Structure 1
Amino acid sequence: MKQFARIQQGASVIPILVSGTELLDLRSLIPDITPEAIASGVLNEFDVASLKPITGEVQYLAPIHGVRQVPATGFNYKKHIQELKVPTPTEPEVFLKSQYCLTGPFDPIRRGPNPDVKLDWEVELAIVIGREAQDIKAEDAVDYIFGYVCLNDVSDRATQVDAERQHHLVRAKSRPTYGPIGPYLTTGIDPMNVDLWTKVNGNYEQQGNTSDMIFPVYEMLAYFSRHMRMVPGDILATGTPPGVGMGKNRFLAVGDILECGISNLGAQRHEIIG
C-alpha cells in the first residue's frame, strides 16, 4: 500500500508520499500528481529511500490536479436501498459530476445562494483510473486501477428531484465545492472491505463497509467502460452507504462541521458556509 497526497507549503504545491509520520517529497520524480503523472507509470515503482522528508506546517490539497472526468453511480449499497425504500437496481446507474466541483479535503463547502437548498452528504469510495479503460472485463479491472480516494458526493436534494419526481443528478451534485476528495490517494488495498463513515457536528450519520455493495468495484468499472471511455486520473465514484440526510429529512446548515473518512484513505473535515 502507498499513500500519495498533494500539499501546499508557502507558495509551493508539493506532491508527496506519506510514509508513516513522514511526508516524502516526490518532486524529484514528478512536478505534481496529475493524470499525466499517473499515466507515465513513474509512481508505480520508485526508490523510496531517495526521497527527502518535508518538515514544517503544510496544507493538504485535493490529491490529484487536473481531473478530466468524474463518472459516478448511486443506489449501490443494500442498506442504502432499504433506508430510501427504492427498488434494488438491476444494473448500475450512470451519471457525471462536473470536474469543477472537486475541492480539497479540508476546504469549506459553500451551500450556495438558493435559500431552498437541502444540502446532503454522501461518503464514497472512488476509483482512480490508471490506464485507458474501455470495454474491459471485470476480471481484468484491477489492472486498470491506479488507486482510490475518499469522495464526498455533496448533493442538493432540492434540485435533485423536480415537481414531477424526475431525478436530475448532474445539476444537484456539480456546484463548486460539492466534490471534496482526499486527503490520500491510496494504492494496493482491497476495495471490497473498507469502512466508510460520516459525522455531522461530531455525531455519526453514516457507517458502512464496501462489502455491502450491490455491484462490486471491479464489476462497476467494467460496466462503466462499456458505456464510456475512461482515461488515467479519472475518478469513478461507487455509491454511498446508508445514513444520508435525505433518508432522515435532515440537511446541512451554515456553520455545521461535516467530516467523513474511509479506511486507509484518510479523513476530511469541512465547515459549511453560505
Structure 2
Amino acid sequence: MRLATIRSNQGTFAARVETDTTAVKIEGYANVGDLLQESNWEEIAAGAQGETIEFAQTDLEAVVPAPNKIVCVGLNYANHIKEMGRNLPEHPTLFVKFPDALTGPFDDVLVPEYANAELDWEGELAVIIGKRARRVKAADANDYIAGYAVMNDYTMRDYQYRTLQWHSGKSFEKSAGFGPWMTTKDSFTFGGELATYLEDEKMQTTPTDDLVFGPQALVEYISHIYPLDAGDVIVTGTPGGVGHARDPKRYIGDGQVVKVEIEGLGYVANKTVFE
C-alpha cells in the first residue's frame, strides 16, 4: 500500500495511492503524519472509500509534512565512508534536520545566493515510524516501522564544514524533497538500488543493503536515546558518489534537476533554482 499527502485548493489531505496519477482520499486526515497517529491507521487507509481523485506530481506534498523528529544518520553506507577516507563506525553518527527543511517531492528547491557555492546531492532512504518506539530491540523494530520513502537531501557543504556539527549544512529551508509517497513495509523489499541523478547523469548507485546500520538497528539505537513517535522520520544516510568527494569536486548548478530513485519506492526530482 502507498500513502501520500496531496495538495488541493482546500488544503492537503491523506490519500491511498492507486496508480501513479490516481488516489482515494482518506477522509478526515490532512496528511499522512496525521493518519499515523491512529493505532489502526493501516485499517483506516486500506478501507477508505473516499473520493477518487487524479493528481499531478506537483500536487504531492512532503509525505509527512511536519514530523516531530527527523533524525539523520551520517556516514552509513560502506562505499561512502571509504570514499571519504574514514573507517567504518562502531556506532551511528546522528544529527537532526528540522521539518522546515522538507518540501514536496517535485517542488523546486530555492537556494539563497549565500549558500549556493558548494551545493551537493545526497540520495537517501527514509524510514517512517508507525507507533511510539521506546527502548526497542532490533529484533522487534520492524513492528514500529510504518513504511519507507525517498529523501533528496540537498547539502550545503560550505555550511556543513564550518564547524564540527553538520546540522547547519543539512537543514536549509525547503531543501529536502520527501516522498513521493510512503510505501508500507509489507510492500517494500529492502536491498534494491538507490540511484541519484544530476540531470541525466547517474551520480550515486548502490543497493540499500550496503548500509552499515540498517533500519532495525537504527530504531534500536535511537529509541534507547529518546522515544520515536508515530510520523517521526529516520533518514538513513547516503551512498558513495557525492560531488564533494570527487576530484575535481563537483556541485549542483542553477537550473539543474536532482533525481533520487529507490527501487520499489519510486522517485523524487527537484529543480535547483538559485535566488
TM-score normalised to structure 2 length: 0.90
Q: Does 1:85 align with 2:63?
A: no
Which one of 181, 185, 192 corresponds to residue 182 of structure 2? 185
* Counterpart for residue 134 of structure 2: 134
Change in Cα spacing, 1:56 to 1:45, as seen in structure 2 (3 Å) is closer
Q: Does 1:170 align with 2:167?
A: yes
* Counterpart for residue 96 of structure 2: 96
Q: Once the two structures are superposed, what CA deviation does each residue of 1:140-166 show, in whole Å capped at 9, x if it has no partner?
A: 10111111111112111111113xxx5
* Counterpart for residue 198 of structure 2: 200
AA matched with 2:228: M
* Counterpart for residue 41 of structure 2: 43
Q: Does 1:263 align with 2:263?
A: yes
- Separation in structure 2 between the aligned mates of residue 157 and residue 21 of structure 1, nearest angstrom: 34
* Counterpart for residue 107 of structure 1: 107
Change in Cα spacing, 1:263 to 1:273, as seen in structure 2 (3 Å) is same
- Separation in structure 2 between the aligned mates of residue 39 and residue 14 of structure 1, nearest angstrom: 14
Change in Cα spacing, 1:44 to 1:167, as seen in structure 2 (3 Å) is same
AA matched with 1:247: A
- Separation in structure 2 between the aligned mates of residue 98 and residue 21 of structure 1, nearest angstrom: 28
Q: Once the two structures are superposed, what CA deviation does each residue of 1:39-63 show, in whole Å capped at 9, x if it has no partner?
A: 2034312454734421365711111
- Separation in structure 1 between the aligned mates of residue 115 and residue 30 of structure 2, nearest angstrom: 39
How far apart are 1:23 and its partner, in Å?
A: 2.3
- Separation in structure 2 between the aligned mates of residue 107 and residue 235 of structure 1, nearest angstrom: 20
How far apart are 1:232 and its partner, in Å?
A: 0.8
- Separation in structure 2 between the aligned mates of residue 34 and residue 7 of structure 1, nearest angstrom: 9
- Separation in structure 2 between the aligned mates of residue 231 and residue 269 of structure 1, nearest angstrom: 28
Worse overlay, 31-40 or 85-94:
31-40
Question: Is the 8 Å Cα contact of residues 24 and 51 (structure 1) preserved in structure 2?
Answer: no
Could you list the runs of 5+ residues in structure 2 that have no partner in the other structure? none
Q: Percent identity?
A: 28
* Counterpart for residue 33 of structure 1: 31
Change in Cα spacing, 1:11 to 1:142, as seen in structure 2 (3 Å) is same
Change in Cα spacing, 1:22 to 1:49, as seen in structure 2 (3 Å) is farther
* Counterpart for residue 219 of structure 1: 217
AA matched with 1:142: N
- Separation in structure 2 between the aligned mates of residue 138 and residue 115 of structure 1, nearest angstrom: 39
Worse overlay, 52-61 or 124-133:
52-61
TM-score normalised to structure 1 length: 0.91
Q: Once the two structures are superposed, what CA deviation does each residue of 1:161-214 show, in whole Å capped at 9, x if it has no partner?
A: 13xxx5321111011122210011110245631321111111100111111111
Could you list the runs of 5+ residues in structure 1 that have no partner in the other structure? none
AA matched with 1:174: S
AA matched with 1:201: E
Two-structure CA RMSD over aligned residues (Å): 2.0
Change in Cα spacing, 1:101 to 1:191, as seen in structure 2 (3 Å) is farther
Change in Cα spacing, 1:50 to 1:98, as seen in structure 2 (3 Å) is closer
* Counterpart for residue 6 of structure 1: 5
AA matched with 2:181: Y
How far apart are 1:24 and its partner, in Å?
A: 2.9
AA matched with 1:5: A
